[in-house]
Amino acid sequence: MALELKGFHHLTAVSARIQENYRFYTQTMGMRLIKRSVNQDDVRAYHLFYSDAVGTPGHDLTFFDWNVPSEQRGTHSVVRTGLRVNGQQTLEYWKERFSELGVAASEITERDGRLVLDFEDPEGQRLSLIDDGGTGDPVVPWDRSPVPAEHQLRGLGPITMSVPSLRSTDIILTRVMNMQHVRQYALPESPKHEVHVYQMDGVGPHAELHVAVQPDLPFTQPGAGGVHHVAFRTPNDDQYAQWIERLNQFGVRNSGAIDRHYFRALYFREPNGILFEISTDGPGFAVDEDPATIGEKLILPPFLENRRAEIEKNLKPIE
């Protein structure tokens, strides 16, 4: 059986205004803060994870808290993050909700055969709500969300990245990561740019990576409102080990095995410089917290616990 990725595991972006970020994703978007921790490589920064009620793999939108200037948009980057919902009525609910809360959003339009509603978070991260028609793994609604259960987010996908040249990226996606190129379409707001759709294991936007070819754009300058990396799902430690072996066989420089306590991680850059991660589904976010109160207090992985006082001193309160 071919080694196949199961869709997206999480996407991590950058915020320079973490208090506003927390309010937007919990109160406007209705997500649960499923883990309140720190960047394990830079403990001066929060690492916040927003998800459904239980942190279902494929649902996590996460943020590093770095005091940096805003991203300067361009190519060599992830340019739009899809958040799935089910049905036109739900998109209409969100259109009205955004209007009431003062969040600028597009009209409901069609892109690549699906209804979408584009919007941005307070720091300019480009997001879309996408009608997934009910595909993808079941999610667990958050019963304390301000968003009714039937309209809550259903997870990540598709995620769109921009590259100036497709050839080398295509080789990594198809030959190394075992994705299939299934179709292409013209970007509606810029028809001269084609978007190539790559599919992982499964059918639906949760399992699609969209790659826009935009050679005329400048290089992106990373910053707040931009995406740091995108992570893909592998179900268990056995397949995770096989991915490490596979990257090494193809000569792809990578991080090697890294234990993030809540999942195993493997990092590498695709040929246009965008940071990818392959992550295991488990052990999950409840490994060190009571599911009833998860996300309410700062949790540190065991190897950082002896530095708690120093770490807490440098973090801003979030309410």
* pLDDT value for 139: 87
Q: CATH number of 7-314: 3.40.50.300, 3.40.50.620, 3.40.50.10320, 3.10.180.10?
A: 3.10.180.10
Residue 319 has pLDDT above 90, yes or no: no
pLDDT in tens, 239-271: 999 999 999 999 999 999 999 999 999 999 999
* pLDDT value for 138: 87
pLDDT in tens, 121-137: 999 999 999 999 999 98
Question: Which positions ≥6 away from 200 have C-beta within 8 Å?
Answer: 4, 5, 6, 7, 178, 179, 207, 208, 209, 232
The DSSP bridge partners found for residue 275 are 269
Residue 62 has pLDDT above 80, yes or no: yes
pLDDT in tens, 22-37: 999 999 999 999 999 9
Average pLDDT over residues 62-89: 98
Name residue, tokens 């960047």: 39
8 A C-beta contact, residue 184 and residue 193: no
* pLDDT value for 48: 98
The amino acid at 279: S
Question: Domain limits of the chain?
Answer: 7-314
Q: What percent of the chain stands above pLDDT 70?
A: 100
pLDDT in tens, 279-315: 999 999 999 999 999 999 999 999 999 999 999 999 9
Average pLDDT over residues 134-149: 94
8 A C-beta contact, residue 5 and residue 178: yes
Q: How far is CA 290 from CA 60, 62, 283, in A?
A: 18, 20, 14
Cα 254 to chain centroid distance, Å, stands at 20
This prediction has a pTM of 0.97
Residue 1 has pLDDT above 70, yes or no: no
pLDDT in tens, 198-210: 999 989 999 999 9
Mean pLDDT of the chain: 96
